[in-house]
A and B are shown apart, each in its own frame.
Chain A
């Protein structure tokens, strides 16, 4: 049975199912329950996460498994890494991905390295859930999309879901995975609803999904930008142009095969990524196709990204910071050499 569920509801449900299935799964983070040791709350949560994504978990699983932490990201993130390598399967919530500055070592030099550096003796089945994304008027330190930073680190997997269905299946796969997985949640997608099956299911990490088939241009889009691409696809379709929208879903590992075979079909590539352009996923995918798919290309590869600036606060600036469907339509038209107005 499927029913409509919001993105945050799907993520919440995935955590509940994982915790019911495996008692070694625990959740830790700042105010994932809230109200710790407040007399009138006991096993009620005060918040259930800053935007309510973990609401209700403490009621079902208790404060032994739903751990509110002090504001001590290095402390609990490091603890999660070693708890994972000694028998637990923690979900560690980093409220905003921007806060990785406070605990990068625990991922970069600790968790990510254990398995390889110790000659395969350690496993680190930890999932880091974290919010990213601009468009929330949350300004420079709460709006970044830092998935490229983690994709650059061998030993961690990176997942960026774009729909509630995928969020649930990919999160369950992340929790089952024996490597550290960073799971990115776009805060502006939490209220988006979609069809989500009941019950436990996983979506394999490392498999892209073709969100819309087309033969004219391949558009690879990350996270929320999948929806920008789909919006552009609608507009273009009315002009007789069919773009193929590829959602990698996981950035590490990356489904190179899916991207290359789409470009083989369309001979053109655009990547939409709301992160900054330098050393980004957009740049990485462009390099991949230039390297391994050059013979298929009939036009230059185009990247549609944020500018190389921090995220501005003012709504007037943040609105133009993010990629827009109109821009995608324009770039597609340029690539195909078709005039904008038909």
Chain B
């Protein structure tokens, strides 16, 4: 694993750097707000927050366009934001309002936006592997040079679909990038207990595909690894497995007391290991952005999240008639 310092050779344009910082801050702000709203009892349902893992979604999606697709997980808000989903539509979806990206019918665990190549957050762990193969098959068959990215957790790699999906992508040379978000836990179960492999990336060897493990808190390391994997996929050379070592700052879902975590790890991930603070420092040190530019991004994001909440609060719930739409027949 490389440290952030060793990645000074990753050349970012100012525009790209700005976009990346903005998306990371959007994710953090959005999730912090969802956390507050849930605690106040305003939001219904189960919510799984992505705060802490921003560098992964953003570092990978920095290489994608709207025609590239991603599959996501139950912890999908960060993937949605990095892939360009509208904050108003996302927040309204989490509120269950008709202005949500899925008209309020999906909720937090099922946000999707096909126009942005976001094929859906997923309530079924392991659901994404074969789906990413499917969208990659479409790209391969139609000879677009689009790629599919499958984001998944350390827990999901123990599900059968991981093995079936990666093997399928490998033998058909599908343009998929499998991105593991190894945050150390699946619910309350440590990765080290549940996985026979010390690293997820070890499993790439078994499927004869390239694998790379990076510090998932270091957005430049993620960015660099993803660049190579995405280009490889676009060239028709098949799938790659990237393992990003990361951490979720909140519990598995809102309401989790997190007794399985140590105090030190909780603290350090909010301070010296925080991906956003690290990237901010890097941007300033390398003079990619000036302090006032960084602050301007932070302010505008805060306003955008305020606006998303206001939009959601003011939006109506779906009409009763929506219950029977979007399904081929209703008895």
Contacts and interface: CB of A to CB of B under 8 A. Distances in A.
Interface residues of A, number: 46
Interface stretch (B4-12, B18-26, B186-194, B288-296): B186-194
Interface string A43-76: 0101100100000000000000000101111110
Contacts of B317: 314-317
Contact of A71 (B104, B126, B324, B331): B126
Interface in B147-170: 155-156, 158-161
B233 to A, nearest CB: 26
A34 B189 contact: yes
Interface stretch (B106-114, B136-144, B223-231, B269-277): B106-114
B189 A31 contact: yes
Contacts of A99: 124
A31 B256 CA distance: 13
B124 A141 contact: yes
Interface size class of B (residues with CB under 8 A): 35 or more
B107 A34 contact: no
Interface-centre pick from A50, A70, A278 (highest chain B CB count, 10 A)? A70
A316 B96 contact: yes
Contact of B323 (A37, A74, A75, A317): A317
A139 B189 contact: no
B259 A70 contact: no
A213 B156 CA distance: 50
B186 A71 contact: yes
B320 A35 contact: no
Contact of A102 (B45, B124, B190, B259): B124
A138 B109 CA distance: 9
Interface in A96-124: 98-99, 101-102
Contact of A70 (B96, B108, B189): B189
B193 A313 contact: no
Contacts of B97: 314
A32 to B, nearest CB: 10
Chain A contact residues, majority secondary structure: loop
Contacts of B330: 307-309
A198 to B, nearest CB: 30
A277 interface: yes
A190 B262 CA distance: 30
B159 A71 contact: yes
A317 B322 contact: yes
A101 B159 CA distance: 12
A188 to B, nearest CB: 13
A37 B110 contact: no
A290 to B, nearest CB: 17
Interface in B266-310: none
Nearest to A38: B260
Interface string B246-276: 0000000000000110100000000000000
Given A41-B260, A321-B323, A138 B189 contact: no
A278 B104 CA distance: 25
A138 B47 CA distance: 9
B123 A31 contact: no
Contact of A310 (B124, B160, B327): B327
Interface in A1-59: 30-31, 34-38, 40-41, 44, 46-47, 50
A137 interface: yes
A149 interface: no
Given A31-B188, A34-B187, A141-B110, A102 B159 contact: yes
Given A34-B189, A35-B189, A47-B188, A316 B318 contact: yes
B96 A315 contact: yes
A139 B104 contact: no
Interface in B73-89: none
Given A71-B126, A75-B158, 12 more contacts: A35-B188, A46-B188, A46-B260, A70-B155, A140-B123, A142-B109, A308-B327, A312-B105, A314-B103, A315-B44, A315-B96, A317-B104
27 contacts: A31-B188, A34-B188, A35-B259, A36-B193, A37-B192, A46-B188, A47-B187, A70-B195, A71-B156, A72-B159, A98-B124, A102-B126, A139-B109, A140-B106, A142-B109, A307-B330, A308-B327, A308-B329, A309-B327, A313-B104, A313-B107, A314-B97, A314-B104, A314-B318, A315-B44, A315-B317, A316-B96
Interface of B: 44-46, 96-98, 100, 102-110, 122-126, 155-156, 158-161, 186-190, 192-195, 259-260, 262, 317-318, 320, 322-324, 327, 329-331
List 10 A-B pairs, minimum CB-CB distance, nearest first: A313-B107, A34-B188, A141-B123, A316-B317, A314-B96, A314-B104, A137-B45, A70-B158, A137-B44, A46-B188
Interface of A: 30-31, 34-38, 40-41, 44, 46-47, 50, 68, 70-75, 98-99, 101-102, 136-142, 276-278, 307-310, 312-317, 320-321
